[in-house]
């Protein structure tokens, strides 16, 4: 082979190798972009977990299938357990979960006569399809849930609480900071900053994993810096707050527990559960978990108004008894006289359904009328 032919050969080989490398690079970049888009879409549309149980699975027979709509038109589905004491608690699940995951909490609270609303956030469970933004657009869903509960005739609008886990907890913090209709709040395993959480997950899965997550959130029109529940915690004060975290929770960045504890303002209770991870509190400390939930809401959502005595005269008998009246905020019967309420059909079962609930507190003693 001549020198000129040899040079031409190696030059052609270099071109072939270079072209092959370029093609391989393009294929790899295409795969990476495709995986990024797929991962991002998966982040915005997590797989829905089909409901496998109803409240009956935990012994709750008296419940309703309900639906309501967020202010941007997303239909939200849920279960509602009617209140027997005038107070109600909203339960908010975590990312990629559904309302069923909070049935253990519903059992505890319904057992104490609270109204309980369990609902699916947008893009989860049986609720309408929409981008999942891990705490931003979900605020609209929670506000709609508060509107739903506040309008219930069995609920005193001034006695509404909330309990949330992870994404649901982060959403509650942000909403409660602005909406004082939430009178008492329990936060479980909330992240303090979405951006910090994404960076933390990137360190676990590799630096490239951060790219699709950031891109997905931005695609949804969300600014990462806006989702910082740690900055909103103090605004819940002076309403009572209970913060619960697992000591061994690896789903959130290290130091999140202490940062959230430090950011909260009084009145606040802080509970770090030894050996607990992400959402296994009812397995690690079942009895203490139940007693703390019950004690917190019993103290913070108690009926502050003294029982009122109503005197109703029936066929020569004057019945004097202490009753509690739980009216709708917009009811025509609200706080009117006993005689007016009785004459206008505001009492009894029909009134309980239409206007509020008129309930005997503990005894009914007849005093013969003269």
**Tell me, what's the pLDDT at 227?**
93
Q: Do the domain assignments include residue 200?
A: no
Q: Do the domain assignments include residue 248?
A: yes
**Tell me, what's the pLDDT at 321?**
37
Q: Do the domain assignments include residue 187?
A: yes
Share of the chain above pLDDT 70, in %: 72
Share of the chain above pLDDT 90, in %: 60
Whether residue 319 sits in one domain with residue 296: no
Whether residue 173 sits in one domain with residue 316: no
**Tell me, what's the pLDDT at 204?**
57
What is the distance between the alpha carbons of residues 345 and 26, in angstroms, rounded to a whole number?
Answer: 77
pLDDT above 80: residue 367 = no
Number of H helices, E strands in the chain: 12, 12
Tokens of 87: 């107070």
Residues whose CB falls within 8 Å of the CB of residue 327, separated by 6 or more in sequence, listed in order: 153, 333, 334, 335, 355, 356
Q: Which residue has the higher pLDDT, 237 or 1?
A: 237
pTM of the predicted model over 0.85: no
Whether residue 325 sits in one domain with residue 290: no
Residue where a domain terminates, one of 264, 280, 300? 300
Residue where a domain terminates, one of 300, 331, 358? 300
**Tell me, what's the pLDDT at 211?**
59
Q: Which residue has the higher pLDDT, 201 or 354?
A: 201
> Residue 314 belongs to what domain range?
308-368
Q: What is the CATH number of the domain that holds 175?
A: 3.40.50.1820
| Structure confidence at residue 336 as a pLDDT band (50, 70, 90) | very low
Backbone angles phi, psi at 259, to 5 degrees: -60, -40
Q: Do the domain assignments include residue 215?
A: no
With contact defined as beta carbons under 8 Å apart, do 81 and 105 qualify? no
Q: Work out the average pLDDT over 275-280.
A: 93
pLDDT above 50: residue 312 = no
pLDDT above 50: residue 214 = yes
Whether residue 150 sits in one domain with residue 79: yes
Q: Which residue has the higher pLDDT, 307 or 107?
A: 107
Q: Do the domain assignments include residue 146?
A: yes
Whether residue 363 sits in one domain with residue 327: yes
The DSSP H or E segment spanning 212 is: helix 210-219
Q: Do the domain assignments include residue 172?
A: yes
Domains in the chain, number? 2
pLDDT tens-digit profile of 147-188? 999 999 999 999 999 999 999 999 999 999 999 999 999 999
Whether residue 275 sits in one domain with residue 142: yes
pLDDT above 70: residue 140 = yes
Q: Do the domain assignments include residue 116?
A: yes
List the one residue out of 156, 144, 158 whose CA is nearest residue 66: 144
Q: Work out the average pLDDT over 194-213.
A: 70
Q: Picking from 291-295, 309-313, 363-367, which range would have the lowest pLDDT averaged per residue?
A: 363-367
pLDDT above 80: residue 226 = yes
Whether residue 360 sits in one domain with residue 235: no
pLDDT above 90: residue 290 = yes
User: For residue 203, what are the CA distances in angstroms to 39, 47, 124, 295?
Assistant: 17, 24, 27, 39
What is the distance between the alpha carbons of residues 87 and 348, in angstroms, rounded to a whole number?
Answer: 19
The mean pLDDT value of the chain amounts to 81
Residue where a domain terminates, one of 276, 300, 324? 300
pLDDT tens-digit profile of 24-77? 777 776 665 555 555 556 678 889 999 999 999 999 999 999 999 999 999 999
Q: Picking from 121-130, 163-172, 333-342, which range would have the lowest pLDDT averaged per residue?
A: 333-342
Whether residue 151 sits in one domain with residue 186: yes
**Tell me, what's the pLDDT at 209?**
58
Whether residue 248 sits in one domain with residue 361: no
Q: Work out the average pLDDT over 337-345.
A: 39
pLDDT above 70: residue 325 = no
Whether residue 314 sits in one domain with residue 295: no
Q: Do the domain assignments include residue 262?
A: yes
CA dihedral sign of residues 213, 217, 223, 227: negative
pLDDT above 80: residue 364 = no
What is the distance between the alpha carbons of residues 143 and 68, in angstroms, rounded to a whole number?
Answer: 11
Mark residue 102 as left, alpha or beta (left: phi above 0; alpha: psi -120 to 50; beta: remaining): alpha
**Tell me, what's the pLDDT at 362?**
32
Whether residue 284 sits in one domain with residue 354: no
| Structure confidence at residue 299 as a pLDDT band (50, 70, 90) | very high
Q: Work out the average pLDDT over 218-243.
A: 91
**Tell me, what's the pLDDT at 172?**
99
Q: Which residue has the higher pLDDT, 287 or 363?
A: 287
**Tell me, what's the pLDDT at 307?**
41
**Tell me, what's the pLDDT at 113?**
98
**Tell me, what's the pLDDT at 318?**
36
Q: Work out the average pLDDT over 340-352.
A: 37
Whether residue 241 sits in one domain with residue 167: yes
Q: Work out the average pLDDT over 303-316.
A: 45
Tokens of 290: 């139940």
């Amino acid at each position: 082979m001549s020198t000129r032919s040899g040079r031409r050969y190696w030059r052609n080989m270099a071109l072939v190798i270079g072209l092959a490398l370029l093609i391989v690079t393009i294929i790899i970049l295409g795969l990476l972009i495709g995986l990024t888009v797929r991962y991002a879409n998966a982040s915005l549309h997590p797989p829905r977990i089909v409901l496998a149980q109803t409240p009956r699975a935990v012994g709750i027979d008296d419940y309703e299938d309900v639906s309501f709509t967020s202010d941007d038109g997303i239909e939200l589905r849920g279960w509602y357990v009617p209140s027997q004491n005038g107070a109600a608690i909203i339960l908010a699940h975590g990312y990629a979960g559904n309302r069923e995951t909070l049935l253990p909490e519903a059992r505890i609270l319904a057992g104490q006569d609270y109204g309980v609303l369990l609902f699916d956030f947008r893009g989860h469970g049986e609720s309408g399809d929409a981008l999942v933004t891990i705490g931003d657009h979900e605020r609209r869903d929670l506000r709609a849930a508060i509107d739903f509960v506040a309008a219930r005739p069995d609920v005193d609008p001034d006695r509404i609480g909330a309990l949330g886990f992870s994404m649901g907890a982060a959403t509650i913090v942000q909403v409660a900071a602005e909406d004082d209709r939430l009178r008492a709040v329990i936060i479980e395993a909330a992240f303090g900053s979405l951006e910090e959480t994404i960076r933390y997950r990137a360190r676990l899965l590799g630096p490239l994993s951060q790219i699709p997550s950031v891109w997905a959130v931005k695609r949804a029109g969300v600014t990462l810096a806006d989702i910082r529940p740690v900055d909103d915690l103090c605004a819940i004060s002076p309403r009572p707050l209970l913060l619960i975290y697992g000591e061994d929770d690896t789903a959130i960045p290290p130091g999140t527990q202490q940062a959230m504890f430090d950011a909260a303002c009084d009145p606040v209770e802080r509970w770090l559960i030894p050996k607990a991870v992400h959402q296994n509190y009812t397995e690690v400390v079942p009895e203490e978990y139940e007693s703390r939930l019950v004690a917190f809401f019993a103290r913070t959502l108690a009926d502050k108004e003294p029982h009122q005595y109503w005197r109703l005269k029936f066929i020569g008998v004057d019945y004097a008894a202490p009753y509690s009246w739980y009216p709708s905020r917009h009811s025509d019967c609200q706080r009117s006289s006993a005689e007016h309420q009785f004459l206008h059909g505001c009492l009894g079962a029909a009134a309980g359904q239409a206007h509020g609930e008129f309930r005997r507190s503990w005894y009914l003693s007849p005093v013969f009328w003269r």
